Chain A
Amino acid sequence: MIKRLAKCVREYKLPAVLTLIFILGEAIIETLIPFITADLIGNIKDGAGMPQIVQTGLLLVLMALLSLSFGGIAGFTCAKAAAGFSKNLRHDLFGKVQTYSFANMDKFSSSSLVTRMTTDVVNVQMSFMMLIRTAIRSPLLLIFSVVMAFVMGGKLAFTFIIVIPVLGGGLFLVAKKAMPAFHSVFRKYDRLNESIEENVRAMRVVKGFSREDYEKKKFDASAETIRMDFTRAERIVALNTPLMQLCMYFNMVMILLIGSNIAISCGGDPFDVGQISAMLTYGVQILMSLMMLSMIFVMLTMSAESARRIYEVLGEESTLQNPEDPVTEVADGSIDFDHVSFKYAETAKRNSLSDIDLHIRSGMTVGIIGGTGSGKTSLVQLIPRLYDVTEGCVRVGGLDVRSYDLDTLRGAVAMVLQKNLLFSGTIRENLRWGNENATDEEIREACRLSQADEFVMSFPNGYDTKIEQGGTNVSGGQKQRLCIAGALLKKPKILILDDSTSAVDTKTDALIREGFRTYIPDTTKIIIAQRIASVEKADMIIVMNNGAVDAVGNHEQLLATSEIYREVYEQQTNGGGQNGEE
């Protein structure tokens, strides 16, 4: 996992490595500074001449300037490396999702993908920054300081031997205790936010049923648990501060006491007040770096969950692979289902489609009718290879769909989804999804065919009208007609409309179908519809029921043979039939 994530550093390896080097330099100087400072104090105390004091002082200034540049540069490179790392992470995440098949997409909810690309990446980025800034620096400072303390303080440095394990152990214990508490609270926190989102989305229901107080109570209960859990977790972490303080104070007292003893006993040589002061500085440095280490530890384990969630996306392999040596030309729009069975998940007990055997000639118009859950959508999704069959084989243009290059296949098969969306941008931009290079004339042509041109032109800005996010400023029927136009722009060999005219009135619906017949006669048209009127005139109508083909034939044949078809037909022509008494 770490390896896969680390791969995202890529072109930012240089700043990352530079950061380490400069931090190393900064740390070395930082440990040397107290040493020189002790010298300086010694100079002053010994009444050394001004030149010597100034000389030592200049050395210190030089070191400060070096430390400043190192630290500054490291801060810069570190920010660049970390921000670059997260940029690459996001790029990879987004790119990975683009390679996903529908089956992969079904595994992740879209909101969880959004969280992974935002919050989780930020968490990992922060850890990465911490890591390259302090993971080197703190142990280094720790080691340097300990070594220097021993060099300078001799046996006085043994106080550190007591303090370091105590503090280290204590910090570790705290971190270990706090971690699971944080984990559980973060999970609860996520759930709270999910339920807020649910509440916002369902506000009309909440208000419609006057459930404001109920919702408040529900929220209060979850928020209260979070408060309690969070407080507990934070209180454990808060123990760090007194622990740190305790060790620091202990250290100070010991150094003052023993240090002064030594300094007096030896008469100021080799140990003097300058050394005492330096030892105090080292003491603080040692404890600080321990503290930093424990913070890194906490942070890393906290972001481990984020890293895992990111890896889950990156590590997910698309269930659809381009074949080696793919075919890049689709011969025609013929479609064959050879004893196809299909289920969405391997673990699913029931097949969503079982033993479908259908043969559609190029240029045919095919209607598909069937109740909710009868498998209409599943059936057509196999044609552009949005899913792979479980058994059997789907052929387009005489060849197994799995032998085509995916882009080639999907270029030849245009599909308008049941829940098709428009994206924010102008109408023209949305239509160009079908064909980036479409000319304005081609776009209008497609819209005329899908009966969209007229209403688009009625907008003040015509094809440059902005579509709001989610396409809220056009009606459902208009949205559907625009989506069909986009699909037409692909100039497909096969056009699939998955209940895509449900909001279009019958007359326009008929006009669209009429247009298909006249202007794209060679394209195979597959129309899933609820209205019999939409499929009545098709060359072939497929009636689906419970994942199987119930009947195939034209309108007249089906009226005679299929009970389901007849039932639906009668219900729709009689307008429900329940109101005969009126």
Chain B
Amino acid sequence: MAKNKQTMPMGAKPPKRKLNGNVLKRLLKMLFKAYPVLLPLSILCILFTAVVSTIPSIFLQKVTETVQDFQSTKDWAAASEIIIPQVVTLIVLYVFSIVSITLESQLMAYITQGFLYKMRKAMFERMQDLPIKYFDTHKHGDIMSYYTNDIDTLRQLVSQSLPTIIRASVIVISVLSIMVYYSIWLTLLLLVGVAFMVLVSKKVGGGSARFFVKLQRSVGGLEGYVQEMMNGQKVVKVFSHEEQAQKDFDRVNEELFQNAYRANAYANMLGPIIMNIGNVMYVIVAVVGGLLIAAKAPNLSLSGLALGVDIIVPFLNMTKQFTGNINQFSQQINSIVMAMAGAERVFELMDQSPEVDDGYVTLVNATVDAEGNVHEADHHTGVWAWKHPHSADGSITYTLLRGDVRMTEVDFGYEEGKTVLHDVSVFAEPGQKVAFVGATGAGKTTITNLINRFYDIADGKIRYDGININKIRKSDLRRSLGIVLQDTNLFTGSVMDNIRYGNLDATDEDCIRAAKLAGADDFITRLPGGYETELSNNGSNLSQGQRQLIAIARAAVADPPVMILDEATSSIDTRTEAIVQKGMDALMKGRTVFVIAHRLSTVRNSDVIMVLDHGRIIERGNHEKLIAEKGQYYQLYTGAFELE
């Protein structure tokens, strides 16, 4: 169920494909494209070894014939003159075959891993380019299962199923031709048996595949349940809810068991069934063959050989080989079905449309000459400018990066027809601090989502230093905006690395300075490894407040002219906040800052405070003005309304 949810992405749902044929075709195409030489080469090797592996039957027939011819005279010396050259030819063939199989198996190992690597890489790169909306509308667990489950199914497909199927079909075909060479009657007889086998495979294998798909789904269900429960385990304990949790778990577990056991039972039974149909076929061929010999029935064959023991013996062997390979075929059904389901999901991710970025205004290093003209520089100058090429006359203008952000009459909705922001206008001059307050869902975070273009506005204009932000290249726009979010996300690596994430060119000193500015230096230096302390698991060894301080330092080292602080200090206790307040003030100095905070003490000293209600700005002004107005803000301030 969990898995189905993510198939409801934005836009129209693609029509449900009937069969996975397209998926397979696309997958094979990608595989061939990735290895245009190696893959055909290794297929060639498979073909060769497959053909060689059918040859012993011919030799066996020849040897058997010879043995019978010489048995009456018991003259090994004479017989060996015929037998030895035969065996030598066989040995030569075998040597080639071993060489080719070595090559093939090594190649396949290389190709499989290489292909998986390419798929992973393609998936990850596509994922990086997807709009935030994708991540807001898909469960993280679902996204993860692309990497953990779905890709793994492809490994089985490429390394096992594909070669097996090629090999098995080649063997089946060549065995078949040899059989026709010997006896058409017996071959026809065998084919009847094969038809029966295919029928059974389809029935049993289909059942198995059906349950395997169900199984996948119940695995997802169980995983989701366990994930939620393990995350909330402490709550479970506090409420003594253990027994109930176990009961619920057992229910999910039982469903998984039912599907697992059915799927595997079908899969396990298929082998013995096919093999023994093969055994029965063997007997039938033998008996019918015997009958034909006894009746001295005329043989119909390409070779024109008369039906005799020397034909029956190798023919029987081939019967074994034939049914054995049909079995090989049927054993692959499950992994193919699962791989197709996996590939379909992988393609689903790859087919998501990436974030569009047609911005052409870029951020460049600049110098300002005595007359105040801005020039582009090829080195770091500490001064930045927007480079704005005009397509009309081919000229380029430079605008200094100042941090002037203006939203004019902006409307926006996450879903069509559901407007969450109405007619919002905000003017933030360089160095000003603008605060947003309002209840959950009022649209505070939405406004910041629009400024950095995580989402695009429906109507109205947003200008940055007078340039419409739609014209600015997204990466440059975001580079000019520092952002600190309520949910702090840190990366595995040292504290220093995490701070440097804000500016990859920053030196250690820059990072430490930023940490000091954010008021984080104090606790960092007290960590066992100082700045080199390794963080893992989203910095689980730090408190929420400490994580926020690192996030603030990370934004500080980027040194952007505009900062967005979305509940950035919500988890820092008021006493610590008072301590870092100075750093925060220093950090905000000279920057345009957008602040969202539910602690009104944090927003009091803003230049302008916007009170939002249901996506509209209902009051604006500084603290004193709003208090004097005795409107919504006044009520919030005195605690009459709930904030969050």
Contact = CB atoms under 8 A, between A and B. Distances in A.
A binds B: yes
Interface of B is mostly: helix
Among B261, B544, B578, chain A packs the most CB atoms within 10 A around the CB of B261
Contacts of A507: 639-642
Among A196, A227, A264, chain B packs the most CB atoms within 10 A around the CB of A264
B101 A264 contact: no
Given A256-B59, A421-B235, A114 B230 contact: yes
**Size class of the contact patch on chain A:** 35 or more
Among B66, B117, B481, B622, chain A packs the most CB atoms within 10 A around the CB of B117
Contact of A60 (B75, B148, B263, B282): B282
Nearest to A22: B272
Interface stretch (B177-185, B381-389, B421-429, B535-543): B535-543
B140 A384 contact: no
A231 B279 contact: no
A465 interface: no
Given A57-B287, A230-B113, A210 B492 contact: no
A347 B283 CA distance: 72
**Size class of the contact patch on chain B:** 35 or more
A372 B98 CA distance: 69
Contact of A223 (B120, B294, B502): B120
B135 A61 contact: no
B410 interface: no
Given A97-B230, A264-B67, A202 B491 contact: yes
B18 interface: no
B286 A220 contact: no
Contact of B238 (A219, A386, A436, A579): A386
A187 interface: no
A505 B39 CA distance: 66
A264 B79 contact: yes
Nearest to A201: B489
A210 B605 contact: no
A173 interface: no
Nearest to B235: A421
A197 B642 contact: no
B71 interface: yes
Task: Report, nearest first, the 10 A-B pairs whose CB atoms are least far apart.
Answer: A71-B272, A75-B268, A506-B639, A202-B489, A83-B261, A505-B642, A79-B264, A475-B440, A64-B279, A68-B276
Nearest to A273: B64
Nearest to A101: B237
A118 interface: yes
Interface in B428-477: 439-441, 452, 454, 474-476
B269 A129 contact: no
Contacts of B581: 576, 578
A378 interface: no
B75 A264 contact: yes
A391 interface: no
Contact of A41 (B76, B309, B440): B309
Given A201-B140, A210-B475, A212-B129, A277 B313 contact: yes
B499 to A, nearest CB: 12
Contacts of A135: none
Given A238-B108, A407-B240, A67 B124 contact: no
B11 interface: no
Given A71-B275, A234-B113, A417-B238, A79 B265 contact: yes
A577 B287 CA distance: 104
Contacts of A70: 272
A281 B320 contact: yes
A154 to B, nearest CB: 16
Interface stretch (B30-38, B190-198, B512-520, B596-604): B596-604
A133 interface: yes
B341 interface: no
Contacts of A57: 283-284, 286-287
Interface in B49-82: 49, 56, 59-60, 63-64, 66-68, 70-72, 74-76, 79-80
